[in-house]
């Protein structure tokens, strides 16, 4: 799928805005228990280049594990991003971007942890948690 060369989004109250160049035109869905607890269902990840974030004074990042941080707006509580600490890379909550509503699913991970009521339809790759972690380890990442 093709789409815009850049996208802009914001939290529920508008205190935090995010712009991305060259956005991925598909989202990745994480169904792990931690993402379900964080967002109420699953986490839909929007990636792109050159993130420009404004409203830093309203951003709180919580270190949710040894290898991840999760940010939210301290004003309205909107989830903003997941940061993979080994690389510093962030994936942004796709719900922040109106354009992302038209994107399909690239892949779904941790499907073995998904809630029965969080089934995502479509013909896209699905990985268990074990498969997703093995893929990351094969790429050289450590989760210890």
The predicted pLDDT at position 141 comes to: 80
Residue 1 pLDDT exceeds 60:
no
More confident residue, 66 or 144: 66
6-138 belongs to CATH 2.60.40.10: no
Is 100 in contact with 7 (CB distance < 8 Å)? yes
Confidence of residue 91 (pLDDT cuts 50, 70, 90): very high
Kindly report, residue by residue over 98-128, the tens digit of the pLDDT. 999 999 999 999 999 999 999 999 999 999 9
Degrees to nearest 5, angle at CA 72 with 69 and 77: 145
Separation of alpha carbons 14 and 11, rounded Å: 5
45-62 CB burial, b ≥16 within 10 A, e <16: bbbbeeeebebeebbeee
What average pLDDT score do residues 26-45 get? Answer: 93
- Where in 42-135 does DSSP place strands (E)? 43-46, 49-54, 59-65, 68-73, 79-84, 89-93, 104-109, 126-127
| Residue 2 pLDDT | 64
Please check whether residue 69 is in contact with residue 61, taking contact to mean a CB–CB distance below 8 angstroms.
Answer: yes
Query: Which H or E run contains 36?
Result: helix 33-39
Give the span between the Cα atoms of 31 and 22, in whole angstroms: 25
pLDDT in tens, 42-80: 999 999 999 999 999 999 999 999 889 999 999 999 999
Give the model's pLDDT for residue 122: 93
Report how far residue 72's alpha carbon sits from residue 55's, in angstroms, rounded to the nearest whole number.
Answer: 11
Q: Where are the domains of the chain?
A: 6-138
For range 68-94, the mean pLDDT: 95
Q: Quick one: pLDDT at residue 144?
A: 61
């Amino acid at each position: 799928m093709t789409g815009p060369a850049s996208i802009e989004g914001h939290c529920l109250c508008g205190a935090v805005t995010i712009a991305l160049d060259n956005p991925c035109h598909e989202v990745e869905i994480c169904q792990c228990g931690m993402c379900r607890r964080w967002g109420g269902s699953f986490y839909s990840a929007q990636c792109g280049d050159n993130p420009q974030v404004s409203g830093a004074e309203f951003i709180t990042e919580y270190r949710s594990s040894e290898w991840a941080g999760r940010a939210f707006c301290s004003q309205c509580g909107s989830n903003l991003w997941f940061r993979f600490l080994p690389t510093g890379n962030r994936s942004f909550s796709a719900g922040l971007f109106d354009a992302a509503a038209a994107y399909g699913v690239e892949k779904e991970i941790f499907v073995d942890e998904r809630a029965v009521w969080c089934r995502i339809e479509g013909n896209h790759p699905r990985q268990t948690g074990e498969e997703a972690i093995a893929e990351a380890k094969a790429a050289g990442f450590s989760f210890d």
